[in-house]
Amino acid sequence: MTASSNPTRVALVTGASGGIGRAVAQRLAADGQAVVAAYAGNAAPAEQLVAEITAAGGQALAAGGDVSDPAVAAALFDTAEQRFGGLDVVVHAAGIMPLPTPLAEFAWEQVERVIRVNTLGTLAIAQQSVRRLRAGGALITFSSSVLALAFPGYAPYAASKGAVEAITPILARELRGRDVTVNTVAPGPTATPLFLDGKDEATIARLARQAPLERLGEPGDIAEVVSFLAGPARWVNGQLLRANGGIA
């Protein structure tokens, strides 16, 4: 494929096959951005998302791979540049959340997987972003309000996301003079398969009541925040935004 001469802003969204990532891809496409919908293993939901975006008049393509592999992360950027001419927005929504388990009971292989996917995956995507985003661009990563809530059972997950928060202001400063912003969104309890998996109705209802708004977040709530950071929010940089309805 040859690079497009279309001046439309171009976004790469990882984790786009479901949950928050899917909602973000849909929202950015509705905002007029061309979207590269990245998925880890299941191509069908990503291809369906691309079909929906293109049917609505947007531009999109799907691309797969494990983004904790730096070579795969680089290949996603190559794909975006070859198809659309470059990248303006990167939203790294891919991640995993294991079932809540006391640290003493975690299998070490599971701890390593959480760190690899959530932390190393973010670093791999961030490295390509700081090298290759165009002027006026935005890198948006994801943490979690679990860090502020300090729920028992989430130690490896919180550790993996704490690292994401730590690098955000550093990257913003490393990009001095480039006109590229770096921010992190920390959703609270959000009604996605990742969050709901393994929780009974009583637990879900209890979590929904904790926020002053007395409901779980919806993927569209988070996509709205990302849309702001990906477009008009040029004076928000190096920040952590908790999108959690006031739960923490």
**For all residues of the chain together, what is the average pLDDT?**
93
- Is the predicted pLDDT of residue 207 greater than 70, yes or no? yes
pLDDT in tens, 157-178: 999 999 999 999 999 999 999 9
CATH class of 10-241: alpha beta
Asked if 154 and 197 touch (Cβ cutoff 8 Å), the reply is no
pLDDT in tens, 39-52: 998 899 999 999 99
CB atoms within 10 A of CB 180: 23
Q: What's the sign of the alpha-carbon dihedral 184, 178, 65, 4?
A: positive
What pLDDT does residue 5 have?
A: 43
How far is the C-alpha of 134 from the C-alpha of 128, rounded, in Å? 12
pLDDT in tens, 102-153: 999 999 999 999 999 999 999 999 999 999 999 999 999 999 999 998 989 9
The residue that leads in pLDDT, 195 or 31, is 31
Mean pLDDT of 225-242: 96
Mean pLDDT of 73-83: 97
Catalytic residue list: 157
Q: How confident is the model at residue 195 (pLDDT cuts 50, 70, 90)?
A: confident
The residue that leads in pLDDT, 143 or 231, is 143
Q: How confident is the model at residue 1 (pLDDT cuts 50, 70, 90)?
A: very low
SS3 (DSSP) at 20: helix
Q: How confident is the model at residue 7 (pLDDT cuts 50, 70, 90)?
A: low
What pLDDT does residue 14 have?
A: 98
**Range of lowest pLDDT (83-97, 122-136, 190-204, 207-221):** 190-204
- Is the predicted pLDDT of residue 4 greater than 60, yes or no? no
What pLDDT does residue 198 have?
A: 72
**Range of lowest pLDDT (2-6, 73-77, 97-101, 241-245):** 2-6
pTM of the shown model? 0.93
Which residue, among 221, 241, 124, has the nearest Cα to 181 in the 3D structure? 241
Give 242's strand partners.
186
What pLDDT does residue 168 have?
A: 98
| 141 sits in which H/E element | strand 138-142
What pLDDT does residue 3 have?
A: 39
